[in-house]
A and B are shown apart, each in its own frame.
Chain A
């Protein structure tokens, strides 16, 4: 029984780590390109934070699977093909413009904070401990995102138009965020993780109020994306081709 739970939890953690790592990579694509120096630095910081979160989840998974914690994260990041990744499509979408990047982050961070508040009281102690630490950083990420949401939503005609276009594009993909994660069914019953579907109402209430305050309106006519996490798209393949190229060209390289 415990063994089954352990492997379910490892699957769950790897999916969480995949979300973090791919979002981190997409955000890191702004390094050197953000609209202003301070924001370039801020965004690189956020991306590094997410990278650290991915490593934390992967290391916890390693412990559950009897893998070597120092090597397992690299193995997961560099030596899996797209079909083996379990991230949501949300994080794989190309970075778009600055409005798209900020809005994607803000909406995702709002969900992460809710999930981490649940994980903080996980029955699996190492998970609860890691969640509390990560929650601290995600609260800051959310504050940063919310500050920008308001300023761009209420800023100029152009900033508002770009934010609304980003929201129209992103909104259909939100449906996938609330599908159960791999392994979740067994874990939620045992008090190890919160039910992802159960976070949706609180998320909607919060972000819809904040979007409204920023004068942004979610589209009401769209087809929700409900693709399972096991089905990846060409966006992830392109990203992996770049991210994994050096590691695969020389697997023994050290840096």
Chain B
């Protein structure tokens, strides 16, 4: 079945100034500007945000630790020369949880960026690597941080645990009031 949805964008979020960004998920949007707004509306409510980045899903170049394990892929990457550009590097450091921002490299292609990322940041046990070009990333504007993100601190949001539905259902089942 053809995908009738809009294009997908990866959303990265920084919780507080100075902290690394983390990959937060994906949103659909008609363009990258709307992706930033959708990212804000879908992900910022909990717990908070200071900055947000979005990039088209197809801009992500990814490798897993398994794919890299025997070294064949890495050995095959050639520096073909050409103009270099900046790439963001993200890595998944734990089985649970999202990818964290590791830093930035400059390279003329995504595979070369991956190679340099592994050389530069490979001291950490990275399970999944992502590199994507900085020029294809949209960043929230510092000057707009207040109107974009401040609400998440000034609103009281109830945690789902606040609603005792699961406990209540369990008690009702225990009393035999509900059929499973």
Max chain A Cβ within 10 angstroms of own Cβ: one of B146, B148, B151, B154: B151
A41-B41 contact, Cβ under 8 Å, with A147-B33, A147-B34 = yes
B147 adjacent to chain A (CB < 8 Å)? yes
Q: Indicate if the CB atoms of A52 and B155 lie closer than 8 Å.
A: yes
Which A residues are in CB contact (< 8 Å) with B155?
Answer: 48, 52
Q: Indicate if the CB atoms of A36 and B151 lie closer than 8 Å.
A: no
From 128 to 152 in chain A, residues with beta carbon under 8 angstroms from any chain B beta carbon are 133, 136-137, 139-140, 143-144, 147, 151
> Which bracket fits the contact residues of A?
10 to 19
**Shortest Cβ gap from A253 to chain B (Å):** 16
Main secondary structure of the interface of A (DSSP, over half): helix
From 3 to 56 in chain B, residues with beta carbon under 8 angstroms from any chain A beta carbon are 5-6, 27-31, 33-34, 37-38, 40-42, 45
A38-B28 contact, Cβ under 8 Å, with A143-B37, A147-B33, A151-B34 = yes
**Shortest Cβ gap from A24 to chain B (Å):** 14
Q: Indicate if the CB atoms of A41 and B154 lie closer than 8 Å.
A: no
Q: Indicate if the CB atoms of B147 and A137 lie closer than 8 Å.
A: yes
Choose one: B27, B144, B146, B154; the contact of A38 (CB below 8 Å). B27
Minimum CB distance partner of B27 in chain A: A38
B98 adjacent to chain A (CB < 8 Å)? no
Q: Indicate if the CB atoms of B147 and A139 lie closer than 8 Å.
A: yes
**Shortest Cβ gap from A225 to chain B (Å):** 31
Which A residues are in CB contact (< 8 Å) with B150?
Answer: 136
Which B residues are in CB contact (< 8 Å) with A52?
Answer: 155
Q: Indicate if the CB atoms of B154 and A42 lie closer than 8 Å.
A: no
Q: Indicate if the CB atoms of B151 and A49 lie closer than 8 Å.
A: yes
A39 adjacent to chain B (CB < 8 Å)? yes
Max chain B Cβ within 10 angstroms of own Cβ: one of A38, A42, A48, A137: A38
Q: Indicate if the CB atoms of A143 and B154 lie closer than 8 Å.
A: no
Q: Indicate if the CB atoms of A140 and B147 lie closer than 8 Å.
A: yes
A45 adjacent to chain B (CB < 8 Å)? yes
A37 adjacent to chain B (CB < 8 Å)? yes
Which A residues are in CB contact (< 8 Å) with B31?
Answer: 151
Q: Indicate if the CB atoms of A37 and B28 lie closer than 8 Å.
A: yes
Q: Indicate if the CB atoms of B147 and A136 lie closer than 8 Å.
A: yes
Which B residues are in CB contact (< 8 Å) with A144?
Answer: 37, 41
**Shortest Cβ gap from A137 to chain B (Å):** 5
Which A residues are in CB contact (< 8 Å) with B146?
Answer: 136
From 111 to 136 in chain A, residues with beta carbon under 8 angstroms from any chain B beta carbon are 133, 136
**Shortest Cβ gap from A220 to chain B (Å):** 32
**Shortest Cβ gap from A54 to chain B (Å):** 14
Which B residues are in CB contact (< 8 Å) with A41?
Answer: 41-42
A-B contact pairs, 13 of them (CB 8 A): A36-B5, A36-B6, A38-B28, A38-B41, A42-B38, A42-B42, A49-B151, A136-B147, A140-B40, A140-B151, A143-B37, A147-B34, A151-B31
A-contacting residues of B (Cβ < 8 Å)?
5-6, 27-31, 33-34, 37-38, 40-42, 45, 144, 146-148, 150-151, 154-155
B-contacting residues of A (Cβ < 8 Å)?
36-39, 41-42, 45, 48-49, 52, 133, 136-137, 139-140, 143-144, 147, 151
